[in-house]
Amino acid sequence: MHAEEPAGDTSRRVFHFNGGFLWQRRLRRILALAGHDLRLGWPAPGDLVAVWGRSPYAARGEAVAARTGAGLLRIEDAFLRSVLPGRSGAPPLGLLIDRQGVHFDASSPSDLEGILARHPLDETPLLDRARGAMARMREAHLSKYSGTDPGLPCPAPGYVLVIDQTHGDASVRYGGADPATFRDMLVSAQVEHPHAPVLIKTHPETAQGHRAGHFTASDATDRVRLITEPVSPWHLLEGAIAVYTVSSQMGFEAILAGHRPNVFGQPFYVGWGLTEDRHPAPLPRRGRALTRAQLFAGAMILYPKWYDPCRDRLCNLETALNTFEAETRAWREDRHGWRAQGMRLWKRAPLQDFFGRHRRVIFGRDAPDRPTMVWASARTPLPEGAVLAEDGFLRSRGLGADLVPPLSLVLDDMGIYYDPTRESRLEHLIAARARLRPDQAARAEALIATLTHHALSKYNLGATAPDLPQGYRILVPGQVEDDASIRLGAGETATNLALIRKVRAANPGAVILYKPHPDVEAGLRPGAIAPETLAGLVDMALPGTDPAPLLPLVDEVWTMTSLLGFEALLRGVRVTTTGAPFYAGWGLTRDLGAVPTRRTARPTLTGLVHATLIDYPRYRDPVSGLPCPVEVVAERLAHGPLPRPGRTNRALAKLQGALATHTRLWR
C-alpha cells in the first residue's frame, strides 16, 4: 500500500513522550487515520514510539525505544504544510511518517530515500499525475508555506537567488552544514556570477519574527539585497539565472521550476542527477538518475499522508491541492480585511463566514485601509476600485429569496459575470481556459459527472420532473424581469412573455415547456404570466419543478440570460440564447442576441466549466466552516448536511413575500 492511499495501515500502538502530540489535534487525527493508535504509557516490544523528526525532544522517545525494544516512528510536516508557518498556529495539510529515518538526515536511509532509490517510478499514470500537480503548484503559487502574494512585484530578471534558512534548522545540521556553510554559499554565488545582482530570500518564519535566519541586513551591499516581502517563490525562481541553497525545500521547488540548483547541504533531493551537489561528502546510496516528475512523484505522491479537513479523512495529493488552493486563495484575498457596502442585514453573517476568517468584515463604515466589496445588484454608487460580490452558481438547497445562506459566492474585480456591457473576471478566466492541461480537463469532467449524476443545480429544490408531452421538447425558463442580468444583458427580448412568443414563432411544431422562476412563483419578484395568457403559447407549464431532473428530458433550451442555459450545456442539451449570458459567445451556444465581440476564445465545455465552477467562485464548507473546493460543496448538496435559515430569516422571508410589490423596501 502506497502512502498516498486513503486507507490507513494496520493499527498499531504508538507511544509518545512529547507534549506536542497531545495538543496538536490535526497531528493526532492524521496519525489515527493512518492506523497509528497514539497513546501515553510505556511501550512493549512490537510497539512504536513516535518522535518529531530530529527535534531536541526526540531524544526522550529515542531513549525509551532503545530501552524497550520498541520501533521508532519519525514524524515531520509534509512538503505542502499550510498557508502560514506552524509557529503561527496553522495545522498541517499532511504528515511524513517514516519508519526508517527522516528525510533530511542524510546520515541514514529514510522511507523517502527508499522510494526514490528502488520504486520503479515508471508508471505513466503516476508520472502524468506528477506533471499535473507540478503545474498546479506553479500556477497557483503554492509552496510549503503559501502565505505569499503573487501580485507583489519581483526584481528584474537576471539575478542569482540565494535561499536562507532559520538558525537551528534540523535540516541544516543533519544535512552536514552549519552557519559557515551559508557564508561559503553567499561568497560562491558572488564569485561565480560576478556581474549579476544577488537576492537573498529570507525564510517566512524569519520575516514574521519567529526565528532568526543566517543572513541579516548587514549582509546587504550594492550587489546583495535581502527579500523579506512575501513575494511568490515561483516568481523569484522564474527570474533567477542561478539558485543557491543549503537544504531548503525551495531548492526542491527550484528543480520543479526547471533549475539545477547549487546545493551545499544534503537534502532529500540531492544525489539524483538534478542538482549541482556542492557538499564534499558523497552519498553512495543515491546513484540513480531521476527526472523531475519521478522525484516529485516519490516525494509528493507516494511518501506523504495527505489530509482532507472538510471530509476528515486521508486523501490523495490532488484532493489536498484542492483544499490548499481554496485556503490559500481565501487568505490572499481576505488578509487585509474587507469593507462591505450595499449588503442587506441577512447577508452579513454569511459574508462574515466567507470573508472574515482572517480579519472581520466591516459593514458600511469607512475603512480607508481596506478594499471595498459591494453587492453587485445593490443600487448604490460604486467606490473606485470596488470589488463586486454575488451568489455563486452552486448556491444552496433552497432559494436566496427565502434567505437560505449560500455555499458559494463570487468576487469580481473587473465587472460582474451577468453584465455583458463590460469585461468581467469570469470572461478572462473562460478565455484563459481555452486550453486545458490533462489534469484540468479530468477535474472538470469529473465535476460535470458529479453534477449530472446527482441532478445538482443552483438552488436544488428537489422536486421530481412530471410526465411530459411527447415531441421535440423546448424548455423555456422564466426569469425575474427586474433582475440585473435582464436589465443589462437581455437585449430586445426582455420579458418572459416576449421570449415565449419568440420561441413559439420560431418553433411552431415543437412542444414548448415553460418553467416559471421560483422567486416569481413564490410571489417575491416580478415576472408572472397569467395562465390564460400562456394558453396556446406553451404546451405545458411546470411550476415548482426542479430544473436539474428536467433537463435530461428536453431537446433544447431557449433562454434570455438564465443560468439554466449553462446547466443545460452540462447535460449535453442544445442551448439558444436571445440575450448575452456569460456562457454565450464562446461557440457552445446558438446566439440570437448581441453577444460581446471580445469573446473570441473557443473553449471546450470542460474549459467553460473549469473557469465557471472551479476558478471563479469561492466556496465554504458548511460542516467544517473552512474554505473548500467545489467538490466538497457538490458532495454536501448531494448528501448533506446543509445549512438552513434560522427562525429570524424565515420570518423575514415571509415578510418579503407580503411586501413583494414593494421590493425597494427589502432588496
Nearest Cα to Cα of residue 241 among 258, 222, 266: 258
Handedness of CA 403, 406, 412, 418 (dihedral sign): negative
Largest CA distance in the chain: 90
What's the confidence (pLDDT) of residue 661?
Answer: 46
Nearest Cα to Cα of residue 12 among 92, 60, 73: 73
What's the confidence (pLDDT) of residue 113?
Answer: 98
Q: How far apart are CA 511 and CA 496, in angstroms?
A: 17
What's the confidence (pLDDT) of residue 643?
Answer: 64
What's the confidence (pLDDT) of residue 17?
Answer: 93
Task: Check residue 82 and report its DSSP letter.
Answer: B
The 3-state secondary structure of 294-338 reads: HHHHHHHHHCCEEEECCCCEEECHHHHHHHHHHHHHHHHHHCCCC
Q: How far apart are CA 236 and CA 160, in angstroms?
A: 10
Q: How far apart are CA 201 and CA 420, in angstroms?
A: 43
Q: How far apart are CA 461 and CA 475, in angstroms?
A: 18
Q: How far apart are CA 343 and CA 352, in angstroms?
A: 11
Nearest Cα to Cα of residue 580 among 506, 489, 460, 505: 489
What's the confidence (pLDDT) of residue 1?
Answer: 39
What's the confidence (pLDDT) of residue 444?
Answer: 98
Our CA dihedral for 363, 369, 371, 375, rounded to 10 degrees, sits at: 20
CB of 142 within 8 A of CB of 135?
A: no
Other CB atoms within a 10 A radius of the CB of residue 203 amount to: 24
DSSP codes, 112-174 = HHHHHHHS----HHHHHHHHHHHHHHHHHT--SB---BTTS--PPS-EEEEE--BTT-HHHHT
Q: How far apart are CA 128 and CA 29, in angstroms?
A: 30
Handedness of CA 427, 431, 432, 437 (dihedral sign): positive
Question: SS3 of 368, please?
Answer: coil
Handedness of CA 417, 423, 426, 431 (dihedral sign): positive
Domains contained in the chain, CATH given: 144-288 (3.40.50), 429-647 (3.40.50)
Phi, psi at 176, each rounded to 5°: 75, 30
What's the confidence (pLDDT) of residue 11?
Answer: 65
CB of 564 within 8 A of CB of 557?
A: yes
pTM of the model: 0.93
Nearest Cα to Cα of residue 240 among 207, 285, 304, 197: 197
The low-confidence residues of the chain, meaning pLDDT below 50, are: 1-3, 5-9, 649-667
Q: List Cβ<8 Å contacts ≥24 apart for 464-468.
A: 464/546, 464/549, 465/545, 465/546, 465/549, 465/550, 465/553, 466/540, 466/542, 466/545, 468/511, 468/513, 468/540, 468/553, 468/554
What's the confidence (pLDDT) of residue 207?
Answer: 85
